[in-house]
Amino acid sequence: MRGTVIGFDDDTNTGAVSGEDGERYDFVTLDWRGQGTAKRGDVVDFTPDGERATQIAFLAAEYVKPDIGQFYFSPWGRISRSQYWLRYVLPFFAIAAVLRLAALAHGETRQDPGLLMGLLNLFYFAALWPSIAVLVKRIHDRDKSGWLILLFYIPFFTGIGLAATALAYIAAGNIHTGNQFATFGAVWFAGVGIIGIWFFIDFGCMPGTVGANAYGPDPLAHPLTPRRPS
């Protein structure tokens, strides 16, 4: 059976494994077949014997929390919901809100932009790749392919193109054609909104898979306690 080491005490040489069946199994050093000692988050294969894990074979390393560069710029690996919301979503909206409010206080608008609005737009552009990389890791935590992100971003940027086309026609005086593009764009963005709701629920609210999956170790392997959603 596969499982994840949820803790190991060097003083007593005892530990525990969370099996894929959701049960906890205790073990001692003599049951360990891997090199070195067992570490929290290690993915293992073992033979259950009642409430004990025996013949524990090491399969994969423990989860290593990504550093700043890996978190924001690498699409590889997994992150938990709490990492996604606390390390990316909340800081993103906080920075955007501060720049937006500062621009409004300075009398800047979309129609009459200034330095602060320029900084806000630059921030949105700079955050594009990190938003993709972070979301891909969250998708991986759900044991799904990161390429699913294209189901959102391709329609989203297509909608941006439709909106830009509508504005271009209207600016050129072709109001009728511009309104047609604007209407189609509104319907298009409604569909994008539905996809966005799916992404929000599945990748923003749902817990990741328990234990290692095809994209790496479980980021929520807690010591000596069963895994709990976070």
The pLDDT, as a whole number, for residue 74 is 96
DSSP 3-state of 6: strand
In whole angstroms, how far apart are CA 171 and each of 111, 186, 187, 189?
A: 14, 18, 21, 21
DSSP 3-state of 5: strand
Q: What percent of the chain has pLDDT over 90?
A: 70
Mean pLDDT of 65-89: 95
Helices and strands: H and E segment counts in the chain = 7, 5
The pLDDT, as a whole number, for residue 39 is 81
Interatomic CA distance for residues 79 and 150, integer angstroms: 19
Is the pLDDT assigned to residue 22 strictly greater than 90? no
DSSP string, 165-176: HHHHHHHTT-HH
State phi, psi for 162 to the nearest 5 degrees.
-65, -40
Is the pLDDT assigned to residue 228 strictly greater than 50? no
DSSP 3-state of 228: coil
Residues 216 and 62: beta-carbon distance below 8 Å: no
- Range 2-60 has CATH code 2.40.50.140: yes
Size of the chain, expressed as the number of residues it contains? 230
| Residue range 160-177, pLDDT digits in tens | 999 999 999 999 999 999
Average pLDDT in the chain? 89
The pLDDT, as a whole number, for residue 214 is 82
The structural domains of the chain, with segments of one domain joined by +, span 2-60, 68-205
More confident: 122 or 108 = 122
The pLDDT, as a whole number, for residue 223 is 42
Tell me the pTM.
0.72
- Give the least confident one: 85-94, 121-130, 219-228: 219-228
